Structure 1
Amino acid sequence: MRLLPIVGLTLMLVAACTGTSAPTSDDRVVTLVTHDSFVVTPERLEMFKNATGVTIKVLASGDAGELANKLVLTKENPIGDVVFGIDSTFASRVLRADVLAGYSSPEAKNGAHRYQLAPANLLHAVDVGDVCVNIDTARLADGAGPRTYEDLLDPKYRDMTVVEDPATSSPGLAFMLGTIANFGESGWLDYWAKLKANGVKVTSGWEEAYTQEFSGSSGKGPRPIVVSYASSPAAEIGDNGVPRTSALLDTCYRQVEYAGVLNGASNFEDAAKVVDFLLSEPFQSDVPEQMYVYPTRDGVALPDSWSKAAPLPAASRSLPGDAIDANRERWVEQWRAVVFG
């Protein structure tokens, strides 16, 4: 889900940047299973270890969809103790599979409760990251760019849009769900047929779409319209202090990422402390600049640039979790039939 993914992060995030030694067999270690885009300042982990005696071992396990699938497939022999990165598009699958142990974090009352799911003691909201269409404002200057889903169908934007495949990408799935929420069951496939006719390009994931195909970021690709995040423009501030990109806030779908203790955690009490840490002020204050998402904790200050470049959308679309769970596979197959058929 992230703006700055770190592929294959399966290391102990404790020693390299802090000068401390790696954990020994005598240390209390909690394995945090997460997505490939998890990033945290090593000093935050060292502070947690000093306060609790617990070392956090980070095990990256693909994107949000892969992460959810792995937890379900390994629930009889869990690969870790705590999970972070189950987002709202996959949460119902994980909840239904009974892979989580009940734990009510005292830190949840500080803001995470606003996004709680039923039952409330299984998953705790760590961050919010709205998926939205982004545009390269240099290529589409002076108000010439699109603003809505419908605008992307205008022939003047032919061959300008790149999106991610919802079968393989969390933001791609969120964008597809946003079109369903916007156009309804009766109209969303027709919308995608028209988007295909207008030259939309589909990539397997966010990194390819944003860093290779999109013209407004590092790859300087050919397409000035991309599906990314409301927070993405905060990473595209020019030397003049002006963002090079803009998120279209009328095209956003709300994603929330959750954490919880896994059934079979080797040490439940230490695993619970890690969940508390993910909801605590030290970790939450690290979230915006490390993972380019919005913290759920009340009172956590955002970087100054975010107020202009990356405001949290006031009214994002969403769908009920049970509706997503019941229809996700059918919707993705319908989408593939229209876009690739």
Structure 2
Amino acid sequence: MKKSVLLLALAGLSLSALAAELRVMTHSSFSLPKDRIAEFEKQNGVKLSIVKGGDAGEMLNKLILTRANPIADVVYGIDNTLIAKASAAGILAPTSSKLGRTEKDAQLPGAVAVDYGYVTLNYDKTWFAKAELPLPATLDDLAKPAYKDLLVVQNPATSSTGLAFLLATIADRGEDGAFKWWEKVRDNGLKVSKGWSEAYYTDFSRNGGSRPIVVSYATSPAAEVFYSKEKISESPTANLLLKGGVFLQVEGVALLTGGKEPQAAQAFVDFLRSEGVQTGLQTKMWMYPAVAGTAIDPVFAHAQKPAKFSNPSLAAMNSKTAAWVSRWNRLVVKQAN
């Protein structure tokens, strides 16, 4: 036994008590198997301090407001809707991965891709069956009287999910065409929630709310099967993969400028790309693994993978997202109040 370790033992202290603290900022949906976390801490001699900053948009705003005195060393959950804002704010330090690049890294300049998924509309099967209402076949149907007061979305100013859905409508219809549609659904009883959790767990009829259509993820039906208290073979929810209503979201990890533990932070980047994490995140965060060749969990058979999606170019998102969000809030939130 090394002398330093012996002295610690004699003093009644553990090595973990003196381990460096690696501060990790994440969005509220971050979750990994506990054994993986423990393994990382042991291998790298650090103690993870995971701070959940709310929805990804809210999380990013907190990092920007505290950039003069960073509250974290590394951030997970920056996605392709927010990467430009994060880079422009100067909060990201150069980040790479020893495991090489993946196809999805191109969507996150300045960060390393960890996972990806598809933002789309989910619906409550039971509600529609009881109402004997046909499913909407297009986004335009959602502006018709038959679908009044049925849709809940997240505010794109505070939610990456809401922002992704807004961007999908713009990519499909063009800016003016998209905002004409938003005006129509606003007048048809659209509800706006702060973030995904509020929309899905409070407003969605599947969870006791009044709205049977919610902006969520193509993997959400699989999660419903996985977490069901009773063993079920079919999800109670399903996707509405409507043209102009599907967005490819890529989430990543990056070191933060001014972080106190850059070496441990870089190790955390590689940890998130490791096989165990890429496998484990699927039924924890309900995203697809960014590393090609990773085995996909069987429950994802309930997660209908879209054949098409609508994303603006990275250049357009970089230069126009702030203006689009501002216009959306003027049109949808302020006009509705």
Q: TM-score range by the shorter chain?
A: 0.7 to 0.9
Q: Which residue of 2 aligns with 1:317?
A: 310
C-alpha contact (below 8 Å) 2:80/2:107 kept by paired residues = no
C-alpha contact (below 8 Å) 2:104/2:250 kept by paired residues = no
1:251-266 paired onto structure 2 within 5 Å? 251-266=245-260
Q: Which residue of 1 aligns with 2:168?
A: 178
Q: Which residue of 2 aligns with 1:234?
A: 222
Q: Deviations over 1:248-290 (max 9, x none)?
A: 2232111111101122232322211110001111111111111
Q: Separation in 2 of the partners of 1:333 and 1:22? A: 50
The answer as to 2:149 corresponding to 1:159 is: yes
Q: Separation in 1 of the partners of 2:57 and 2:31? A: 18
C-alpha contact (below 8 Å) 2:83/2:108 kept by paired residues = no
SS in 2 for 1:168: coil
- Matched to 1:199, the amino acid is G
Which of 90, 105, 117 lines up with 1:98 in the alignment? 90
1:129-144 paired onto structure 2 within 5 Å? 129-141=117-129, 144=134
SS in 1 for 2:136: coil
Which of 168, 177, 193 lines up with 1:187 in the alignment? 177
Unaligned ranges ≥5, structure 2: 1-13
SS in 2 for 1:246: strand
Q: Separation in 2 of the partners of 1:103 and 1:173? A: 25
C-alpha contact (below 8 Å) 2:74/2:254 kept by paired residues = yes
Give the deviation of 1:51 after TM superposition. 2.5
Give the deviation of 1:60 after TM superposition. 1.6
TM-score (normalizing by structure 2): 0.86
C-alpha contact (below 8 Å) 1:148/1:248 kept by paired residues = no
C-alpha contact (below 8 Å) 1:192/1:339 kept by paired residues = yes
Give the deviation of 1:230 after TM superposition. 0.8
Q: Which residue of 1 aligns with 2:62?
A: 70
Q: Which residue of 1 aligns with 2:135?
A: 145
- Name the structure with the higher helix share: 2
C-alpha contact (below 8 Å) 1:88/1:257 kept by paired residues = yes
1:243-322 paired onto structure 2 within 5 Å? 243-250=235-242, 251-307=245-301, 309-322=302-315
Q: Separation in 2 of the partners of 1:179 and 1:118? A: 21
Give the deviation of 1:117 after TM superposition. 4.7
C-alpha contact (below 8 Å) 2:95/2:112 kept by paired residues = no
Query: Aligned pair count?
Result: 313
Q: Which residue of 2 aligns with 1:8?
A: none
1:26-41 paired onto structure 2 within 5 Å? 26-41=18-33
Q: Separation in 2 of the partners of 1:227 and 1:103? A: 31
SS in 1 for 2:126: coil
1:41-56 paired onto structure 2 within 5 Å? 41-56=33-48
The 1:56/1:323 distance shift into structure 2, 3 A limit, reads same
The 1:256/1:114 distance shift into structure 2, 3 A limit, reads closer
Q: Bigger radius of gyration, 1 or 2?
A: 2
C-alpha contact (below 8 Å) 1:92/1:322 kept by paired residues = no
C-alpha contact (below 8 Å) 2:116/2:287 kept by paired residues = yes
- Matched to 1:193, the amino acid is E
Q: Deviations over 1:47-85 (max 9, x none)?
A: 112323232221222221122223233333222211111
Give the deviation of 1:118 after TM superposition. 6.9
Q: Deviations over 1:5-44 (max 9, x none)?
A: xxxxxxxxxxxxxxxx8942x2132111111221111111
Unaligned ranges ≥5, structure 1: 1-20
C-alpha contact (below 8 Å) 2:107/2:314 kept by paired residues = no
Superposition misfits of 4+ residues, deviation over 6 angstroms: none
